[in-house]
Structure 1
Amino acid sequence: MELCSSLAIKRLVLSAWRPGPAPGVRQEDARFGRVPVRLYRPRWPPARPRAAVLLFHGGGWICCSIDSHERVCQYLAEESDSLVVSVGYRLAPEHKYPAAYEDCLSATLHFLQHLQHFAVDPARVTVCGDSAGGNLAAAVSQSLAGRSDLPRLRAQILLYPGLQALDFNLPSYQQNRGVPLLFQEQAVYSSLLYVQGDASNLEEVLEGSHVPLDLRLKYRKWVNADNIPEEFKVRGYKPHKPREFKPEVFEKLKRICKPTLCPLFAEDENIRQLPETFILTCEYDVLRDDGLLYKKRLEDNGVPVTWYHLEDGIHGIVNLFDYPGLTFPSGKRGLDRVVAFIKGL
C-alpha cells in the first residue's frame, strides 16, 4: 500500500515484543550524554562490586533497539549478577557510519569515566554485542586498547559478529546464502545502508568489484578462505574470483578500510592489546567465517580466546532463546555460555 517502507515494518516487528520487567531485575532508562541507555540491575545486594556489561544490540545497523534485546539483557543481568547497560545507538540509513560506532564509543567512555556512580568493579567491565553489535563491540574495544587514562576493558564478547566487507564469498557466505535469519544479499544490503545510506552497488559488492587489487592483496593475510579450517568447507566451497575492479564503486565505499568499520583490518600492534575475548559462531550463518578469522587473528597475537560454536545454530539464535512461539534450545545454550564466561572473569 506504500504507506511506509519495508524497513519501517521490519523495525516495528523486531521491537514490538517486550517481555516486561523481570522480577529479579531493576530497570532504568537514562542517557549517557546524548546516547539513550537502559540499565539492568539485579535486585539483591551484591556481595562485592558487580561486573558490568555494555551491550550493543544487533540488527545490521539498521534495525532492532534497546527494546528488542530486553529479554537478553534481563537474563544476563540476573544470571551473571552483573549490571547490564544496553546502548541505544543511532540507526542507518538515517545515520550512516560512523554514527553507530561513535554512539557506542561515547556511551562506553561515559560509563568508564563515571564508574563510581554505578557500584561496579572497574576491573570487570566488558563490552558485548551480537551481529552488527559484535562489530561495534570489536571496534570500541580496539579504540580503547592501550589507553592508560581509563580502566582497561576486562573482556569483549562477540556473538556471530560481522567484521569485514572485503569478501562476501567466503565459505560461510556461499554455504548459507539462503539460510535465515540472515541471507547473503541481506548482509551486503545492511552493510551498504550503514556505509553509504543506500543499497546501490549491491551486485558489484557481492561480486567483489568494490576492492582494488592492492588492497585485496594487503588484507589477504587476514581475510582469506585459506585461514578457515578445512572442516568448515565440507558442505561445499568454490573459490570465488572477483569481477573487474570498478573505481567509482570503491570511491563510494573506501571507508571499509577503516578498522572502526571492519575490525579485521586493525594492525597487529592494536590487536595485541585487546582484552580476553569470547566469540560465538553458528554453523548455519553467513557471518560464521568472520568470527573464525578474527579468532585466528587474536590467537596469533597472543590474545586469550574462548570460542563456542553452535553446530545447529543460525544467525540471531541467541536473541531467540526465549521468544514466544519461536524458542530454540541452542540459543539458550549459547547465552548460558556467555553467562558462564562473565561469571568466570
Structure 2
Amino acid sequence: MELFLGMFLAGLTVLVAVVFYYEHSKVKVPHGFSQRQKLYFFHYTLNFTLGLAKFLEKVHIISEVSLLRTVMERIPPLKDKHLLIKDLSFDRVPVRIYQPKASTTGQRRGLVFFHGGGQFGSIRAYERICCYFARKSNSVVVCVGYRVAPEHARPAPFEDCLSATVHFMKTAEDHGVDPSRIVICGDSSGGTLTAGVVQALVNRRDLPKLRAQILIYPLLQYVDFELPSYQQNKGILSFSKERILILSLKYLNKDLSLMEAIFKGCHIPEDLRLKYQKWVSPDYIPHEFKKRGYKPRTTHPFSKELYTLVKPLLDLVFSPLLAEDSVIAQLPETFLLTCEFDVLRDDGLLYKKRLEDHGVKVTWCHLQEGFHGTVFLASYGKVMAFRSGNKGLENIVDFLRLM
C-alpha cells in the first residue's frame, strides 16, 4: 500500500509539473539567435523545475525555496589544484576565499564577489565562477555568504555584504592583496548589492579607495517596469518582471496582490515621479534598443497607501540608480555587462548613462545574444554554456587584468 501511494504521488507530481511546464513554457526566441534549440531546452528544463517546485509547495510537501536551494546545494564542490580554497568569517559573515597557489611578485588584486540567485543563490552555487576569476586573472577572490530572505529581512543582505567588504579592505594585506587594487563584483541581485555597497563606501575616509566595480546584469530600480527591455523580453525565459516583484514582495513580507498597481507605477508620488524622470526614463534609452518594440506607458493615479507599503523598494539598497548626483560622481571605474534578451537590460543602460554623464569611466559589455543568467551558466562548462556567457566571462577577466 505504501509503495502504491508513493508511486501515485510521484506520478501525480510529474503530471502536474508537466501541465505547468506546458502552460508556462511559451518562449519567444528571436530569429537569428544562433543557439535556439539549446535555449529552448534550457528554458523548458527551468520551467519544469519551477513548476515542480511550485506544485510541491502547494501540496505542502516542501516549499519552493527549500527545494530550489536543495537543488543548488547538490552541486558538487569544486576542487581546483591551482587554488587554495578556505572558509573564513569576516565580521561574523561567512566568506570563502580563493587564492592562486602560484608564486607572484608583489601583492595581488582582490575581488569581492556577491553571488546572485536571490533567495536560492549561495557560495556553493557560484564556486565555479569564483574559481574561474581567481585562476584566470590571478586574483584573490572573496565570495560573501550573505543572509537571504525569507529567513532574513532587509537590510540583512546589504549589511552583511558591507560588513564583509569593509573587513576585507582593512585586512587586505593579510591575504596578500594590495589595498589599492580591490574590486567589487556582483551577479544579478549580487549586482544590485554591489552598486549599493560601492555607493555606501564613497564617503568612507578610513578605507582605501576602491579600484573598480563590476556589475553583471544588475537590477537597479523599482520605478518603471515598462521600460523597453521589460516589454520586449517578457516572454524570454523565466526571469520576468513578475518574478522579480514576487521575490521582492516576499522579501518585504508584502501581499502579492500589490504587483499590478506597482507595474502601473501607482506607488510613485508626483514629486518623486518628476525627480526620478531625470534618471529613469525611456527617453534615455538609445533608439536602437527600441526597435524590437516599445509602447509608452500610461500614467495611473498615485496611491498613498501603496507607496507606504512598498516605499522600501525606492531605498538605495533596492534602487541604487536613484542615488544623488553627488554620490554617482564619486563612483570608481565601472565594468557593466548587459544582455539584449534580459528585462534588466535598460536598468544597466540607464546606469551607464548616469555614470558617464558624471565622468566615471565605464567599460560596457553588451551581449547581443545574451540573456539573464548566461554568465553564470558559462562557468559550468560546454554542456551548460552559451557563446554569449563565454564572451561575458572573457571580457570580465580582461577588465580585471587591467586593474
Aligned mates of 1:101, 1:318 — CA distance in 2: 23
Aligned mates of 1:257, 1:185 — CA distance in 2: 17
Aligned mates of 1:121, 1:234 — CA distance in 2: 45
- Per the normalisation by structure 1, the TM-score is 0.96
Secondary structure of 1:282's partner?
strand
Matches within 5 A, 1:182-193: 182-193=239-250
1:24-50 CA distances to partner (integer Å, 9 max, x unpaired)?
A: 111101111221100001111122200
Q: Provide the residue aligned with 1:92 in structure 2.
A: 149
1:196-239 CA distances to partner (integer Å, 9 max, x unpaired)?
A: 46534122212222212221111011010001001000000001
Secondary structure of 2:126's partner?
helix
Secondary structure of 2:384's partner?
coil
Q: Does residue 397 of structure 2 align to residue 339 of structure 1?
A: yes
Secondary structure of 1:201's partner?
helix
Q: Which amino acid aligns with 1:152?
A: K
Equivalent of residue 39 in structure 1, options 93, 97, 118: 97
Q: Does residue 319 of structure 2 align to residue 274 of structure 1?
A: no
Aligned mates of 1:329, 1:292 — CA distance in 2: 22
Q: Provide the residue aligned with 2:47 in structure 1.
A: none
CA contact (8 A) 2:189 2:218 kept: yes
Q: Provide the residue aligned with 1:122 in structure 2.
A: 179
Equivalent of residue 109 in structure 2, options 39, 51, 54: 51
Q: 1:121 to 1:280 in 2, by over 3 A?
A: same
Matches within 5 A, 1:44-83: 44-59=102-117, 61-83=118-140
Q: Which stretch shifts more, 282-291 or 236-245?
A: 236-245
Question: Aligned Cα RMSD in Å?
Answer: 1.4
Q: Provide the residue aligned with 1:5 in structure 2.
A: 63
Aligned mates of 2:243, 2:272 — CA distance in 1: 24
Secondary structure of 1:68's partner?
coil
Equivalent of residue 289 in structure 2, options 232, 242, 248: 232
Higher relative contact order (CA 8 A, sep 6+): 1
Secondary structure of 2:140's partner?
strand
Q: Provide the residue aligned with 1:261 in structure 2.
A: 318
Aligned mates of 1:128, 1:66 — CA distance in 2: 14
Matches within 5 A, 1:296-315: 296-315=353-372
Task: Look at both structures and tell me which one has the larger radius of gyration over its CA atoms.
Answer: 2
Which stretches in structure 2 are left out of the alignment for 5+ residues? 1-58
Secondary structure of 2:336's partner?
strand
Aligned mates of 1:37, 1:318 — CA distance in 2: 21
Q: Which stretch shifts more, 73-82 or 183-192?
A: 183-192
1:153-203 CA distances to partner (integer Å, 9 max, x unpaired)?
A: 100000000000111111101101121141121111122233446534122
Deviation at 1:254, TM superposition (A): 1.0
1:245-268 CA distances to partner (integer Å, 9 max, x unpaired)?
A: 222111111123322221111111
Aligned mates of 1:31, 1:126 — CA distance in 2: 19
Q: Which stretch shifts more, 314-323 or 5-14?
A: 5-14
Q: Does residue 232 of structure 2 align to residue 172 of structure 1?
A: no
CA contact (8 A) 1:18 1:71 kept: no
Deviation at 1:4, TM superposition (A): 1.3
Q: 1:38 to 1:184 in 2, by over 3 A?
A: same
Q: 1:62 to 1:198 in 2, by over 3 A?
A: farther
Q: Provide the residue aligned with 2:25 in structure 1.
A: none
Q: Which amino acid aligns with 2:160?
A: D
Aligned mates of 2:387, 2:219 — CA distance in 1: 23
Which stretches in structure 1 are left out of the alignment for 5+ residues? none
Q: 1:197 to 1:34 in 2, by over 3 A?
A: farther
Q: Which stretch shifts more, 2-11 or 34-43?
A: 2-11
Matches within 5 A, 1:153-172: 153-172=210-229
CA contact (8 A) 1:196 1:252 kept: no
Deviation at 1:152, TM superposition (A): 0.7
Larger helix percent: 2
Equivalent of residue 166 in structure 2, options 90, 98, 109: 109
Aligned mates of 1:200, 1:341 — CA distance in 2: 43
Aligned length: 344
Q: Which amino acid aligns with 1:26?
A: L
CA contact (8 A) 2:340 2:367 kept: yes
CA contact (8 A) 1:92 1:197 kept: no
Deviation at 1:19, TM superposition (A): 4.8
Q: Does residue 257 of structure 2 align to residue 204 of structure 1?
A: no
CA contact (8 A) 2:132 2:379 kept: no
CA contact (8 A) 2:77 2:124 kept: no
Secondary structure of 1:67's partner?
coil
Aligned mates of 2:76, 2:357 — CA distance in 1: 41
- Per the normalisation by structure 2, the TM-score is 0.83
Q: Which amino acid aligns with 1:12?
A: T
